[in-house]
A = this chain, B = another copy of it.
Amino acid sequence: MSVSGLPMTVADPGLPARVRIHEVGPRDGLQNEKTVVPTDVKAEFVRRLAAAGLDTVEATSFVHPKWVPQLADAEDLFPRVKDLPVRLPVLVPNERGLDRALALGARHVAVFASATESFAKANLNRTVDEALAMFEPVVVRARDEGLDVRGYLSMCFGDPWEGAVPIEQVVRVTKALADMGCDELSLGDTIGVATPGHVQALLQALNDAGVPTGRLAVHFHDTYGQALSNTLAALRHGVTTVDASAGGLGGCPYAKSATGNLATEDLVWMLQGLGIETGVDLAALTATSGWMAEQLGRPSPSRTVRALSHKE
């Protein structure tokens, strides 16, 4: 149900005027789908997201196909979307992945580290420091090639095996990624347990350690319904890059209950109400997520998509 004039726009002068949404639906959203989504459908998903005004659409991952079968078609998919007039970041776990991405003309790549030993072991079969050592040559070479490099940090606010994650531990790993040359650091709440004071404290600790807010992005999961209020806390701290997944698709394969990235539509509803520019057309985005939900054969977990798709 769409009601004209809603949400009403009332700005908050303490928040940024503009936010970049880093759309992760085609990669993070789809990577754990059990049924392989046809490459044509993925390409159309990326195209529709770009057409809805998202200027950054994470397209796929150049990990070994054995680890993420859903994204095994990266070589086939990327050329179909690479000429879209948007940023199309891709994940590269190692130098081989970077080679593949470079060969296809990718301009934006991302590595993915963990703030905890348990998740580094589960996701990368390495210690945290071994993983950082693996990423360093990737980041250095990517930057030498003129690419823009993002560093993902998982488990920044809690870990399913370790529980609470000390802030200084997250700062250490984030700073290591920053120091090796990552342009942007995305702080992931992989199991969705963060709350607003914790978000602000981590951002402040990173600033205190010399990582400016301008290099930080936030990546919240809605497992406990906290993603949007944590986003609001991050915006109040000055963060202007927010990760979200169209329709709320996605989760994490190794983290039980880690269902639900922040839905891009729920984020856009809030930002639109706050008068914060994103460039996104909410109706077109909602239609895209509705279409993708049909392809996947199940309703979108995004509350906004469900509300706006509700037929009178």
Contacts and interface: CB of A to CB of B under 8 A. Distances in A.
Contacts of A304: 224-225
A307 B269 CA distance: 24
Interface of A: 1, 3-12, 15, 157-160, 163-165, 191-198, 200-201, 222-226, 228-229, 231-233, 256-257, 259-260, 263, 266, 269-270, 272-275, 302-304, 307, 310, 312
Q: Which of A163, A164, A307 has the most CB of B within 10 A?
A: A307
A1 B257 CA distance: 7
22 contacts: A1-B256, A3-B160, A3-B193, A6-B193, A7-B194, A10-B198, A11-B197, A12-B233, A15-B197, A193-B273, A194-B273, A195-B269, A195-B273, A197-B273, A197-B274, A222-B225, A223-B307, A224-B269, A224-B303, A229-B229, A256-B310, A257-B307
Contacts of A6: 158, 163-164, 193
A63 to B, nearest CB: 26
B163 A10 contact: no
A1 B160 contact: yes
Taking chain A's interface residues, is the majority helix, strand, or loop, or is none over half, making it mixed? loop
A6 to B, nearest CB: 5
B303 A222 contact: yes
Contact of A198 (B5, B8, B196): B8
Given A225-B263, A260-B303, A196 B232 contact: yes
Contacts of A159: 3
Contacts of A222: 225, 303
A164 B232 contact: no
Given A3-B163, A15-B197, 16 more contacts: A1-B257, A6-B193, A7-B224, A10-B198, A12-B197, A12-B200, A196-B270, A197-B273, A197-B275, A223-B307, A224-B266, A225-B304, A228-B228, A232-B232, A257-B310, A260-B303
